[in-house]
Structure formats: C-alpha cells, structure tokens
Amino acid sequence: MLSRVADSLYWMSRYLERAGHTASVLSLQLQVALDQSPAAAMAGWLRLLTSLRVELPGEAMTDTNAALRLVGFDQNSPASIVSCVAAARFNARQVREQISGEMWEQINRLYIWISNEDLDTLATRNPQELFDRVQTTAHLFQGLSDSTMSRGQGWHFMQLGRAIERACNVSSLLAAHFAWLDQAPTATPTAEDYTEWAGLLRGSAAYEAYCKLNSAELRPERIVEFLLLNPDFPHSIRFSLQVINDTLQALEREAAGVRLRHRSASGSGPQIGEARKIVGRSLASLSFSDLHEIMQKGLTSVVLDVRKSCEDVHFAVSRQYISYPIDFSVLTPTSPTSASVPH
C-alpha cells in the first residue's frame, strides 16, 4: 500500500473518531449543565476544553456559547467538530479508491449536510442535531468498514488511527476529571460531582456498561478502574492499547508477507518494530497493575504516560511505514537497468 494512502486512512479514521468523541462530550455537557449551578457549569466547560486539549481563550470565559462554537461549530477552529469532519472527508477523498463506496457516501453525506447548514443558527437553535448526525455517521462508518472492507493493511491503519485517538481522548478525560484524586483521595463527593461523573461515563459511552458491572453506584476509583483497566469494554484505555498492539502485529506480519511477494527493497527495520515495543510496555504495565498501584503511582502521571506512549507510537509508525529513509544501496543489484529492452 502507498505510504501516502496509509497515512490518509489513518488520519481519516482519527479525525472521525475525534469528531465523534467531541460531539459526544459536547452533547453531554449541554445536558449536564442544565442540572448545575452556573459556577459549576462554567467549571464543567473549562474541564471539557482541557480534556479536548483545546487552548483556552486568553481572557476569562464568561460566555459558554463561545466554547460551544470553538469546539463545535467554528470552521476556523481546527478543534471544532465541523473542522474534524472536513479533515476526515478530505483524507477520505484522497483514498476514495481504497475505501468502499458505501463508506465514502456516509462521510460525504455528512460533509454536504454541514456545508449547506448555517452553522451559527444551528449552534443556537439546535446544536444537538449536529452531534447526533456526527455520532451516527461515525458509528455507521465503523460498521460499514467492518462489513465492507477487506482486513488488509488499509483496514489496519484505520483501526490504528481510531484506537490511538480513542486512547488519547479517554486519558485526557480521566486526567481532567480526576486529577484531584491525587491530592485528596478521601474527599466527600457532592451531588454535583455525581452529575459530572455520570456525564463522564456517558461521554465515553460507558454508563450502561459501568452500571452492569458495578451497579449505579458511582465511585470515583471504580470509574477510573473501569475506564483505565477494564479489558473488555471498547472505550477503556487498556482495550485501545490492546487494539493498537494487535494491529501493529498484524501490520508487521502483512508487511513481511508483501515484501516476500514483491521482493521489494525493505524500508523498515527489525521484525518487532519500535512502535510495538512502546505500546507493548504500556499495555503490560496496565494489564499487570491494579487500581491500588495506579493510585500509588498517581493517576495523573499514569494517564500522561499513556498519552506519551500513544504519541510515541504515532511517530514510530510514521518512521516505519510512512516517511522512512530510503536505502538506495539495496535497490541497485536487483533492478534491471538495461537500456535496450525489446518490446
């Protein structure tokens, strides 16, 4: 597969995951804020912006609509949902011959709908419609890619993008909501805290799954344990790291097979690539830790480590598959360069 194409598939998938995630937390924030005092709601907005890793506007924010536009509806803000959709669609357009027509049609439909809307009016009157459409498209797209795409490299690069993006997003959410646990692990939660935590779980599509496991009793350390360490829930960090690990393994196997078939000169390094070593270490440290140990290490430092690993994996993958240096000495002996070839 072309390196540029792999890169586009990866980013298409990342941007769509990001758009879906942002839509989901924004949608929750709008609902949660209804049950909160203005001060708590404002704190909620700031937490949301931090968790999305968006730079806060310089002056103190007094208008929650500004935040809504910044991460939702502003085409000039790279973090906004509409920008993420445009970026996902731009990448999809680069790889149209790689993804199935059905997948393209979903993402293109969403993009056309957004292009035809007056975004300011939509943000004031009915922001929920955008969130719903984006989430539905993200789910449909994932379902379609599962049922219409061969499990080749392209599919793996898409899984990789989605899992890396998801692991980053969930770690940022945890850091934004539970950093205080490191200082005051025994603080007594207030009613507003419960509202916030329920929102956090819903924002990661985890509320129902959490309740099945732990009943509806919301306790901060159980939430952390669920979103960080649960091996079975698709939005938990450990789950995403496992996907990254498996995907990288599949890519390495595939690349070795293709190299054999085409006898092409290798641009990549040893068989267990750097990226897989990084994610493997990170995954092992989560898989063999319990909550107690995590809390002793400090939650903030653990999730920051996860995010750092994801970033390192991203760059290692790029060095291995996308923008690798070329060793010309490998090329020359196998390449026929005769000038007089009869036709």
Partner 1 sequence: MYTQGLPRPHYQGLHQTLSALGADELRRRQAAADMSFLHQGITFTVYGDQRGTEKIFPYDVLPRLIPANEWDTIQRGLAQRLIALNLFLKDVYHEGRVFDEGIVPRELIWSCKHFRREMRGVTVPRDVYVTVCGSDLIRMPDGRFAVLEDNLRVPSGVSYMLANRQVMKRVFPAVFKSAGIQPIDHYAQSLLTALRALARPDIADPHIVLLTPGVFNSAYFEHAFLARQMGIQLVEGRDLLVHEGVVYCRTTEGLRRVDVIYRRIDDDFVDPVVFRRDSQLGVPGLFAAIRMGNVAVANAVGNGVADDKAVYAYVPRLIRFYLKQDPILPNIDTYLMEEADSRAFVLDRLHEMVVKAVGESGGYGMLIGPHATTEQREEFRQRIIADPRNYIAQPTISLSHAPCFINGSLESRHIDLRVYVICSGSVDKVVICPGGLTRVALKKGSLVVNSSQGGGSKDTWVLSPGHDRESIGGAL
Q: Which residues bind partner 1 (CB under 8 A)?
A: 1-6, 90, 93-94, 96-97, 101, 104-105, 108-109, 112, 153, 251, 255, 258-259, 262, 264-268, 321-322, 324, 326, 328, 331-332, 335-341, 343
Nearer to partner 1, 22 or 106 (CB): 106
User: Residue 334 CB: number of other CB atoms within 10 A?
Assistant: 9
Nearer to partner 1, 109 or 277 (CB): 109
- DSSP annotation of 78: T
User: Residue 167 CB: number of other CB atoms within 10 A?
Assistant: 27
Nearer to partner 1, 183 or 332 (CB): 332
- Tokens representing 135 are 């989430």
Nearer to partner 1, 28 or 160 (CB): 160
Whether the CB-CB separation of 320 and 278 falls below 8 Å is answered with no
In whole angstroms, the minimum distance from the beta carbon of 215 to partner 1 comes to 45
Nearer to partner 1, 5 or 167 (CB): 5
Whether the CB-CB separation of 46 and 64 falls below 8 Å is answered with no
In whole angstroms, the minimum distance from the beta carbon of 342 to partner 1 comes to 8
Whether the CB-CB separation of 254 and 153 falls below 8 Å is answered with yes
Please tell me the distance from the alpha carbon of residue 343 to that of residue 336, in angstroms, as a whole number: 15
Q: Which residues contact 111 (CB under 8 A, 6 or more apart)?
A: 85, 86, 89
Nearer to partner 1, 153 or 204 (CB): 153
Q: Which residues contact 272 (CB under 8 A, 6 or more apart)?
A: 252
In whole angstroms, the minimum distance from the beta carbon of 85 to partner 1 comes to 15
In whole angstroms, the minimum distance from the beta carbon of 330 to partner 1 comes to 8
Nearer to partner 1, 2 or 284 (CB): 2
Please tell me the distance from the alpha carbon of residue 221 to that of residue 169, in angstroms, as a whole number: 19
In whole angstroms, the minimum distance from the beta carbon of 267 to partner 1 comes to 4
Whether the CB-CB separation of 247 and 276 falls below 8 Å is answered with no
Type and span of the H or E element at 24? helix 3-34
In whole angstroms, the minimum distance from the beta carbon of 119 to partner 1 comes to 14
Nearer to partner 1, 101 or 143 (CB): 101
Radius of gyration for the alpha carbons in the chain, expressed in angstroms and rounded: 22
Type and span of the H or E element at 248? helix 237-262
In whole angstroms, the minimum distance from the beta carbon of 300 to partner 1 comes to 36
In whole angstroms, the minimum distance from the beta carbon of 16 to partner 1 comes to 16
Its sign, for the CA torsion 34, 40, 45, 48, is negative
Question: Using N-to-C axis directions, what is the helix angle for 237-262 and 274-287, rounded to 10°?
Answer: 150
